[in-house]
Amino acid sequence: MARRILIVLILLVMASCLIGCQTEDIGAPPQEEETIYQNEETVIEIVEPEEETVILPSSSNTGEEGRETVEHVKQVKEEEINRCTISIDCKTVLDNLDKLDPGKLEIIPQDGIILAPIELEFKPGETVFDVLLRVTKEKGIHMEHSSNPALGSYYVEGINNLYEFDCGELSGWTYTVNGESIGYGSSNYILSDGDVVKWLYTCDQGRDIGGN
């Protein structure tokens, strides 16, 4: 009888152990699901920074690519700027002082140079006259001109208070571009990048400055 009771107790203990194991197995899936959920949260936290990292460089101009782009644009703009060189002189008067109006002697520079060569920027479509008008204003040099509304042109009468006919009947102001005498008014000559403009006073209708 005692042996039977012992066997029954052993069986009960074994059954209890089996039930406990099954309970643990049943409880395991929620832990797996919780682990998976936590892992999913971890993945989300990792993915979000990666997305931000990808977006930031595309909207930022502080990188090497952004600096290179800015430098390229700056270089292109600099290449588009038009420049010319302009000068004004009345050196021929020094060789014709006997023809000069005595009242004008004091306004003639000793070397005949009224404006040494200077480089200026200009806009597309500007003329030789436009640049002369601007540079004389900027440098405080007297310049007087007349206009012809019918032709839409301007004529330079005097620079630095030296006028046409002040040094003889054939004297006056003329200009050259790149060493060539131009046969029409300065307000009709449209400048090109790199042009060299010289305003020269002639005492012999251009023959004393290389003109015809």
Question: pLDDT tens digits for 16-46?
Answer: 666 555 545 444 444 444 444 444 444 444 4
**Strands, sheet with 162-163, edge to edge from the N-terminal-most edge strand:** 143-148, 153-159, 162-163
Same-domain status, 188 and 108: yes
CB atoms within 10 A of CB 191: 23
Same-domain status, 39 and 91: no
Same-domain status, 23 and 69: yes
d(CA 17, CA 186): 114
Same-domain status, 56 and 160: no
Which residue would you say has higher pLDDT here, 129 or 61? 129
The token pair at 149 is 């509304």
Nearest to 188 by CA among 145, 146, 155: 155
Q: Determine contact, residues 168/203, Cβ cutoff 8 Å.
A: yes
d(CA 103, CA 99): 12
Q: Which domain holds residue 125?
A: 82-209
The pairing of strands 196-202 and 82-89 is: parallel
Same-domain status, 38 and 57: yes
Q: What average pLDDT is seen over the chain?
A: 80
Classify the C-alpha dihedral 73-123-142-93 as positive or negative: positive
Domain count, the chain: 2
d(CA 148, CA 131): 19
Same-domain status, 89 and 147: yes
Instruction: Tell me which H or E stretch contains 155.
Output: strand 153-159
Per-residue burial over 84-113, b if 16 or more Cβ lie within 10 Å, else e, is bebbbbbbbbeebeeebeeebeebbeeebe
CA atoms within 13 A on the CB side of 22: 6
Same-domain status, 145 and 130: yes
d(CA 155, CA 164): 11
Residues 39-96 have pLDDT tens digits of: 444 444 444 445 444 444 444 444 565 566 556 555 545 557 899 999 999 999 999 9
What is the end-to-end Cα distance of the chain in Å, rounded? 151
With a pLDDT cut of 70, the percent of the chain lying above it is: 65
Question: Pick from 37, 64, 80: which residue ends a domain?
Answer: 80
Same-domain status, 198 and 103: yes
User: Once rounded to an integer, what is the mean pLDDT over residues 171-182?
Assistant: 97
